[in-house]
Structure 1
Amino acid sequence: MSLLKPNRLHIGDTVGVIAPASPPNQKILRKGIEFLKGLGLRVKVGKSVEKINGYLAGSDEERLEDLHAMFLDSEVKAIFCACGGYGTARLAANIDYELIKANPKILWGYSDITFLHTAIRQETGMITFHGPMLGSDIGKEDTHTLSKQGFQQLFASTKISYTERFSTLETLVEGIASGELVGGNLSLIVSTLGTPFEIDTNGKILFIEDVNEEPRSVDRMLNQLKMAGKLKDVNGIVIGDFCDCTPNRELTLTLEEVINHYVLWANKPAIRGFMMGHCNPHISIPLGAQAVLNTNNKSLIVESGIE
């Protein structure tokens, strides 16, 4: 499938805010929306963003309607997800992918949004953006400047160059890998297996991150990826932040031991330590863009995700 890059943003553009998963903290979201306005953008908020249906921001139909409406609205140039949580996978089978393909635009989010990233990319070829969200990150008082600076890649064609100026990086397997950058939250990646939206890792650079998962849970998920052939197929592995993934039992493997076991088995170029995921700062990246992972200089270079 040919690569589909959304158009860049300009000062004065209108952008949309939706909640395709869980209901956001409204106070934090309001501050996040003010951040977008501070970038010179106008903001439209989806109808279901303030709705609460248990752990969902409204019904599946309401959240899906917001997603479709924002892609269909010619005035809206980008779509930002308010928060993650749970629920985007419930929408995937009913998304109008032809509508999205005919109206490509920036889609931004992470965590539970990983399922949307994967489904939309594989059904349309469109690049999407893995970055901090308005109602769970950007609207907080302690949000790092680097997390906010990541939004600038939406206004100008810019390569992402992640080196040790951002964080200490550790090489697990040496080498140079190139390919399309895919992945995101490990739990959501695994949840695509056996579905029509099963992640394709063949010839790709796989990025993984997660939050609040014990080492044994990370072990289970990586083992499932291994048995599904997803680690064998990759060109390289980018290991992001695994926030609060600590054991609550005495007899355990460490998170490092678990990750090392599977990465060393895959034997593809791999680096750990990227501040990408449930962390502060959170460095934003375009998923679906071409990337190069180089252990010689400990870097990840990602092509611009916009036209």
Structure 2
Amino acid sequence: MNNCDSHQTVQSPRLRPGDRVRIVSPASPPSREGVARGVELLTSWGLRVELGEHVFDQWGYMAGRDEDRVLDLNSAFGDAGVRAVIATRGGKGAYRIVDDLDIDALRRDPKPLVGFSDITHLHLALWARCGLASLHGPFANWSDEWSGPASAEALRRALMTTDPVIIHRDTGQAGAAVTVEGTATGVLVGGNLDAIRTEAGAGLPSLEGAILFLEHQRGTGLGEVDRALTQLTRTGVLEGLCGVALGQFLGFDQDAGDPTLGGWGIADVLRDRLTRLGVPVLGGLPAGHGPHPPTIPLGTQATIDTAEGTLTVQPAVA
């Protein structure tokens, strides 16, 4: 068993009915209907929901200008009454504001940030600069068809209880066949592969002693996944990993390789790039850009067990 947990985690207080939460748009703009449904859902848990001043702004493909998006984030981070910050969307733009986050405010008053995809840039920054645990979870731009009751309950429990989160391997996922047997325990870090690759050499925290969680959105081919994993390897950031937990790699067929690409599929690329790390790898976790997403703490101790097919993560809140 690999046990490499050497990181200090900062947990936020769990949410209770009556607590204030702030919805912000650090990346691309949401729909008003989706945010209204998100407010309704959070309010049903007894939370008091506020909207950042620039939630519905639009500047090009982003939710307002950089200075306005980071202003909303930092306003929420610095408000002692706000107990959690929830992003409306991923998309594009969070990478432009990571250097301007008010980390001192979060050191004084930790609170969880919720989101995924482009929000991975922010999760990585918060972990690197103050060890803050955050939540890879659904957006406040809520869709009942896309997220559904199970996703809602998973988010509620991750914010309002101290229960660990257990994710089971789904053999129907495209990366499920990628396994390097073993168990590993370390701090779970990661999220969207493209965001992690972008932060390499800039804001990527040390991954020594960590379990790296990876997922990938639709719209790119095998070569792009290969490039991203190769870049991470060449920068040396994967050295010292304890293990790898693979979420969804959407847009790739589970079984069939591409005859125009030598018969390779996504499992072949992942296996070729990751097995050489010499650490346990658990593929097939149903977490990422697919429907009905779970909520997964980042920055807390986690264990992968390939025999059981499970990722078990300690809570981001205390």
Cα offset for 1:170?
4.5
Residues 122-271 of structure 1: pairs in structure 2 closer than 5 A: 122-135=128-141, 138-151=142-155, 152-164=157-169, 170=177, 172-195=179-202, 197-212=203-218, 213-245=220-252, 251-252=260-261, 253-271=264-282
Alignment match, 1:38 = 44
Residue 53 of structure 2 corresponds to: 47
Instruction: State the partner residue of 1:57.
Output: 63
* Matched residue, 1:302: 313
The correspondence of residues 112-123 of structure 1 with structure 2, limited to 5 A, is 112-123=118-129
Q: How far did residue 142 of structure 1 move?
A: 4.2
> How far is 1:251 from its partner?
2.2
- 1:152-203 deviation digits (Å, cap 9, x = unpaired): 12111111122358977546101111100000000000001121x1232111
In structure 2, what is the Cα distance between the partners aligned to 1:23 and 1:89?
15
Letter aligned with residue 268 of structure 2 = E
Q: What is the CA-CA distance between 1:146 and the residue it aligns to?
A: 2.1
2:205, 2:249 → 1: CA distance?
20
Counterpart CA distance in 2 for 1:261 and 1:303 is 30
Aligned partners of 2:122 and 2:13: how far apart in 1?
19
Q: Distance in 2 between matches of 1:171 and 1:55?
A: 35
Cα distance per residue 1:44-65 (max 9 Å; x no partner): 1001111000111111110111
Question: Displacement, 1:230?
Answer: 2.8
CA–CA distance in structure 2, aligned partners of residues 2 and 231 of structure 1: 19
1:289 to 289, 295, 300: 300
**For the residues of structure 2 that align with 1:218 and 1:286, how far apart are their CA atoms?**
24
Report the AA paired with residue 20 of structure 2.
Answer: T
Q: How far apart are residue 228 of structure 1 and its match?
A: 1.5
Deviating above 4 A after TM superposition, structure 1's stretches of 4 or more consecutive aligned residues are 164-171
Secondary structure of 2:237 counterpart: coil
- Greater CA drift, 143-152 or 78-87: 143-152
Q: How many residues align?
A: 303
Residues 213 and 244 in structure 2, CA contact (< 8 A), matched pair in contact too: yes
Structure 2 Cα separation of the partners of residues 113 and 153 of structure 1: 17
Distance 1:30 1:250, change over 3 A: farther
Change (3 A) 1:251 1:164: closer
2:30 corresponding residue in structure 1: 24
User: Residues 189-243 of structure 1: CA distance to partner in whole angstroms, max 9, x if unpaired?
Assistant: 0001121x12321110000001122111001001111112233321100000112
Could you list the runs of 5+ residues in structure 2 that have no partner in the other structure?
1-6
Point out where structure 1 has 5 or more consecutive residues left out of the alignment.
none
Q: What's the secondary structure of 1:134's corresponding residue?
A: coil
Inter-CA distance 165–254: structure 2 relative to 1 (3 Å threshold): closer
TM-score (norm 2): 0.90
Q: Paired residue for 2:113, among 107, 115, 139?
A: 107
Instruction: Say if 1:209 and 1:242, in contact at 8 Å, map to a contact too.
Output: yes
> What is the match of residue 3 of structure 2?
none
Task: Work out whether residues 171 and 295 of structure 1, in 8 Å CA contact, stay in contact via their aligned partners in 2.
Answer: no
Residues 81-136 of structure 1: CA deviation (Å, up to 9, x unaligned)? 0000111111111222112211211110000000000011110111010011121x
Q: What SS does structure 1 have at the residue aligned with 2:213?
A: strand
Counterpart of 1:10 in structure 2: which amino acid?
Answer: R
CA RMSD, aligned part only? 1.9
In structure 1, the residue corresponding to 2:260 is in which secondary structure?
coil
Instruction: Provide the C-alpha distance between the structure 1 equivalents of 2:171 and 2:43, rounded to a whole number of angstroms.
Output: 27
Query: Shift of residue 143 of structure 1?
Result: 2.4
Check conservation: 2:168, 2:309, Cα contact below 8 A.
yes
Which segment drifts farther, 167-176 or 58-67?
167-176
